[in-house]
Structure 1
């Protein structure tokens, strides 16, 4: 009996991922279609590899997966029925599809293995599977829905509808469009009008999207919005410079509470932290500017002040967490490391990699700032101003910004310059603001470079700086070019920058592109495209109030 039990256990352990019965309240259905016949449909070598790769990562993250490989319409229908029955009590459901797809009649369709490349309107539902219908079948009421779609979205028709006369203005098939879901999010591997690469670099066993989805899933505690951003950046990096690249994933959706694919760890509070700022007899030095990755003396030695001063925090934090668990960073912070205190303070302030705890964030930032660490001073100043500040908090924030700025920290210079222009610390001081922006721009801070485009005497030189940044493959350069030309009413000169930055997920560029399509500025007026980008812009919480007002009424 023991031998039989051992054999059964070994068999269960070696069974393919995605074949076991679904258990738990987080489940996933992964559909991969690779073996298209190559004369009616291009084959996709890696689609099945992709879902196998993702399956293992989901399973490790505590998500119960079910896989469907190379399925025809009958097999897909049976798989949906079985999955829906097993997932009836789930609180979150993931649908991941890799294969061919298209949009027709306001709905999006995936292509089964036995589907023809041409059909008639009346046969669409018999031949292809509606993604919207699949979601409706498998997601219980009230469950969080997360849809991943890894499919090309190029303009060439995927399916020909034989009885549609496009010459007379009837709409044929189109690239996959926006899915309507309730509580949840949709993550496309590529932007509208762009291909989804099956491999990058050539010879890769999985697509760049699947590779990035799995790589970033190894970072615990990324809220789904932050997770989307770091996956998108990773795909962009993998495909930049390729013939059909860069590939730019994008996401949209609506959810009311933080959602994590991998939950943030529980990290106990040290008693010393609850008692306020812990005195330090000998403050450790700030991190070196040398790139010494992971030395025994200082595991954060490769993160220089120069990097802290210009890089977006979500990207930097994701990179750090990919190499150092949150608990290790907290231990370093508790041990007095000023950079770790600043990083952990940021993490707790926004719930990145850990559960959000503003009081704990402030305690760590106070410790970092008390050591004279410029990044800690800047982050503490920002936290004070963002949380219903008292007059004393405003005065202290000013002093912290000045201290960090005087230490040469570019991000603090940019923040201080903005607040001086806005009159947060007294009457607006444009001359001092411009000088601070210029100092930060010299260090390469993109937001400061953008700000200098508002001053006539520095506009041309800083537009050139942003162009160089964009040409180097940084979409933030495209975004700020879009914003700068929109503000100067010369948007037609940067409409391609707006499109690239919008595809990269920049909220402001999406709003500006929506407005451009609505007004026909730099592009042919197109109400559908305007509505498309307006919806994507509205779904991003960082969209500014003035930009929300800009697209009010577009797309309903």
Structure 2
């Protein structure tokens, strides 16, 4: 209904799952000081609903206290509003707008009950009724869009976090709406139109947002992940969203109402960081002990003349490098090692650190983007015969309008890494051989390489093999195993595999799971399914919703852009 049924205090008690008694954290002073600087945040948490008209949400206020401390440490000046009625919210917005007048970025974070009505989204003040007439909605509830317009100065970057349920059951009853005759009733929180910026929902449309996970946690899984990943400096906001979403998914995968899948959308021209990337000199100063790791096996320990040196990256093997999404891998590494430490290892000759540093500098993940340094580190990693470095360098060489020499060298690098058994290189090389990137297409060699990569667990290779009739069933089963294990990439490729000839032949639920996880192609296919009524009931609003989210992602393929062209536009 609101932020959670089962996981709210009332729902847990009804199911006999009330959390153990826990003392509420003391309310601190965070969020009470005058705002300073050009990055500010307004944090609104409504917990103390009366448990009759509205289920109370034990952790909503805890959430904003938790987030407040993290934002303050990140240099974002916060203002907190706890358990506010409509008059208090109005006064808080007026005060915040005055204080934020010169801000360059404004964050609005809301934890509580919310709903959509009349094309706008509303948060629920403490004194709001569970039912209202159409004319009274604006008097009793606070429009999130209106709040954004009030507090965000012209030209400032807007970032909105919404931690609230988005289930289908009406949160507010519109008393004089005749839904049977086509009048609009209330609905789950929908898309916000905020201009330049981004919106980050704690859960997908139609899904609950858990108030705690596991049982007894003092904060929601969304707030916990927002704070945990904020400790990683230098994540561009899009990458930050990805790692927060993965963390929430992990925390809630085994919950009865899980998994919970946060998702984001928005439009912004320049990179935006909650925690800016560090300034790193060309040669890092504070280096970790640098093991002379071999190119064949960078993990483990190395033996010097006296004492073995523990490799700080020893837990990352080639099998993991071959199949894990790079932004998620980098975020995991940066949660344990500072960017400067990785660069110091790279400068000391560590081939894995060189490959990671090359990726980081090429895309500006954890550091400021610097293509010259990216190329230099990848060259050094590849020179040592490190397969992941060879693959990343080959990918960079083919990135934009490659010369004949670049293509020839990329092919050589892909073949070397493939011959070393690196599944990601096998998949890349198979794709280019089938495409004819290096000469006449070689479909037989492509199929062999895809089969080898799929056997090693590479999801994209499994998908490629579903196009061969004699291999389709086995590889669909492989992808299903990935999906059932909680990896939404499996759902994504199942969605793609079941879309044939511009018709979704099955797997709408796989498309939905992957769409909620942020896969651009799955969002486009789900939009198409809703528009055509294939695998799901036709729903123009849902079609427009997912088409817009798909088009917002730059990685959406052109054929899929064409597929959703005109939907919701």
Answer yes or no: is 1:307 the counterpart of 2:338.
no
Note if 1:128 corresponds to 2:124.
no
Specify the alignment match of 1:334 in structure 2: 347
CA distance in 1, matches of 2:168, 2:291: 65
Q: Distance in 2 between matches of 1:448 and 1:155?
A: 37
The alpha-carbon distance between structure 1 residues 291 and 200, as it changes in their structure 2 partners (threshold 3 A), is farther
User: Which residue, 359, 363, 381 being the options, matches 1:346?
Assistant: 359
Determine the structure 1 residue equivalent to 2:189: 176
**1:265-344 to 2 correspondences below 5 Å:** 265-270=278-283, 284-287=294-297, 297-344=310-357
CA shift for structure 1 position 395 = 0.5
The aligned counterpart of 2:427 is 414
User: Which residue pairs with 1:258 in the alignment?
Assistant: 271
Residue 528 of structure 1 is matched in structure 2 by 541
Query: Is 2:413 the partner of 1:400?
Result: yes
C-alpha displacement of 1:491: 2.4
Give yes or no for contact 1:291–1:303 (8 Å, CA) kept in 2.
no
Are residues 1:450 and 2:463 paired? yes
Residue pair 2:284, 2:340 contacting (<8 A) in 1 also: no
Could you tell me whether the CA contact under 8 Å between 2:301 and 2:311 is conserved in 1? no
Q: Distance in 2 between matches of 1:444 and 1:271?
A: 36
CA deviation digits over 1:275-334, x for unaligned, max 9? xxxxx9977444456699xx9520000000111011111111110000000000000000
Residue of structure 2 equivalent to 1:142: 155
**SS in structure 2 at match of 1:493:** coil
Q: Which residue matches 1:68?
A: 81
Equivalence for 1:108:
121
Q: Does the 8 Å contact 2:295/2:385 carry over to 1? A: no
Shift of 1:209: 0.3
Q: Choose which of 211, 214, 232 in structure 1 pairs with 2:224.
A: 211
Q: Which residue of 2 aligns with 1:388?
A: 401
C-alpha distance in structure 1 between counterparts of 2:505 and 2:398, whole Å: 37
Q: Deviations over 1:234-284 (max 9, x none)?
A: 100000011000000010000000000000000011399xxxxxxx99774
- 2:179 and 2:436 map into 1 onto residues whose CA distance is 56
CA distance, structure 1, for counterparts of residue 106 and residue 291 of structure 2: 52
Secondary structure in 2 matching 1:85? helix
The C-alpha deviation readout for 1:335-360, integer Å capped at 9, x for no partner, is 00000000000000100000011111
Q: Is 2:383 the partner of 1:370?
A: yes
Preserved CA contact (<8 Å) 1:365 1:379 = yes
Counting matched residue pairs gives: 534
Kept in 2, the 8 Å contact 1:286–1:338? The answer is no
2:569 is equivalent to residue 553 of structure 1: no
| Separation (CA, whole Å) in 1 of partners of 2:89 and 2:301 | 51
What stretches of structure 1 move > 4 A for 4+ residues in a row? 280-283, 288-292
CA deviation vs aligned residue, 1:114-147 (integer Å, no higher than 9, x gap): 0000111111111000000000000000000000
Runs (5+) with no aligned partner, structure 2: 1-26, 303-307
Distance 1:188-1:15 versus aligned 2 partners, 3 A rule: closer
Residue 456 of structure 1 deviates from its aligned partner by 1.3
Match of 2:489 in 1: 476
**Residue 387 of structure 1, CA deviation:** 3.5
- Of Structure 1 and Structure 2, which has the larger fraction of its residues in helix? 1
Q: 1:415 to 1:74 in 2, by over 3 A?
A: same
Verify the 8 A CA contact 1:287 1:301 in the aligned structure 2: no
Q: Tell me the distance in 2 between the aligned counterparts of 1:521 and 1:281.
A: 56
Shift in alpha-carbon separation, 1:489–1:467, aligned structure 2, 3 A: farther
Alpha-carbon separation, structure 2, partners of 1:118 and 1:81: 27
User: Cα distance, 1:169 vs. partner?
Assistant: 1.9
Provide the aligned C-alpha RMSD in A: 1.8
Select the residue among 198, 212, 215 that pairs with 1:185.
198
SS in structure 2 opposite 1:187?
strand
Native 8 Å contact 1:182 1:254 kept in 2: yes
Q: What residue in structure 2 maps to residue 29 of structure 1?
A: 42
Name the counterpart of 2:500. Answer: 487
Q: Is this contact kept in 2: 1:288–1:302, CA < 8 A?
A: no
Contact 1:57 1:217 in 2 (8 A): yes
Q: Deviations over 1:411-456 (max 9, x none)?
A: 0000000111111000111110000000000110000111100111
C-alpha deviation, 1:166, in angstroms: 1.2
